[in-house]
Structure 1
Amino acid sequence: MSTTSIVVMVVVVLVVAAVAAWLVTQQRRKKQHEHAESLRAEAREHASELPETQTRAHEAEVEAERARLEAERAQQRAREAQVAATQQEAAHEDRLRTADQVDPHVDTSSDDYAPRGSGDPHTVLDADDDRRADGTGGARPV
């Protein structure tokens, strides 16, 4: 083989390789373009769902705000009920202290004085239940 034919063969191989590389590049670019178009089409499909999703998100925010306001109102009602209960307990204890001051059997000046009937605020008081004059501490004979 002559040098000329080797040079021609090398040039032909290089041209064929260059054409093959160009074809592969073109094919890859075409696939990338098709993939990009597919992604765009998918994005367009999902874009139609955006308003509904945004509406749901807004509705959830409104519901959360409503629930927060209702919780604040409930908390305020609870505070008011607690204040009323505390006031009622104080008035109850004040009545008991007044009754004890009038009662000649009760020493209100004692260090361990507590209003008669001032045990559990959740129980209904009866004049005989808490302390009995006979020293039985409220126990009744059976």
Structure 2
Amino acid sequence: MEATEWIIVLVVVLVVAALAAWLVTQQRKKKQQEHAEHLRQEAHEHATEIPETQVRAQEAEAQAERARLDAERAEQQAREAQVAATQQQAVHEDRLRTADEVDPRVDTTSDDYAPGAGATDQRTVLDADDPHRTDRTDRPGGTHRA
């Protein structure tokens, strides 16, 4: 074969290869367009669900806001209950202090004084010095009389 024939064969092969590449590119573009159209169709179908999803999101947000308000109310009630309990405790302690100040058996000036100790602890600081107590355990010999 001569050089001219080789050139013709080479040109034909190159033209066929270029044509094949062009056809493959066209098929790929067509498949991509079909795939893009399929994706657009799916997106359009799912777009109908968006309003319903938005409504659910708004309802959830409203429910969360109601829960926040309920929690704030509960916190306020808890604070008010704590204040009331503290006030009641203060009134109770004040009454105990008043009772202790009136009770001659309770030494309210003692360092270890606690309100109401005279009512629960029958042996207060002043009681220890009371010679008329009958339940003393500090008698000589450690005897105890009931």
Partner of 1:131: 121
Paired letter, 1:54: Q
Structure 1: stretches of 5+ with no match in the other structure:
119-126, 137-142
Q: Which has the higher helix share?
A: 2
Q: How does 1:71-90 map to 2 (within 5 A)?
A: 71-90=71-90
Partner of 1:10: 10
Identity of aligned residues (%): 70
Paired letter, 2:46: H
3-state secondary structure, aligned to 1:110 = coil
Partner of 2:63: 63
Per-residue deviation, 1:24: 0.6
Tell me the TM-score normalised to structure 1 length: 0.81
Cα deviation 1:60-108 (Å, max 9, x = unaligned): 1111111111111101100000000000000001011111111112111
Length, aligned pairs only: 126
Partner of 2:127: none
Q: How does 1:1-142 map to 2 (within 5 A)?
A: 1-116=1-116, 130-132=120-122
When the two chains are superposed, the root-mean-square deviation of aligned CA atoms in Å is 1.9
User: Structure 1 runs of 4+ off > 6 angstroms?
Assistant: none
Structure 2: stretches of 5+ with no match in the other structure:
124-132, 137-146
Per-residue deviation, 1:5: 2.1
**Distance in 2 between the 1:92 and 1:84 partners?**
12
6-15 vs 44-53, greater mean Cα deviation: 6-15
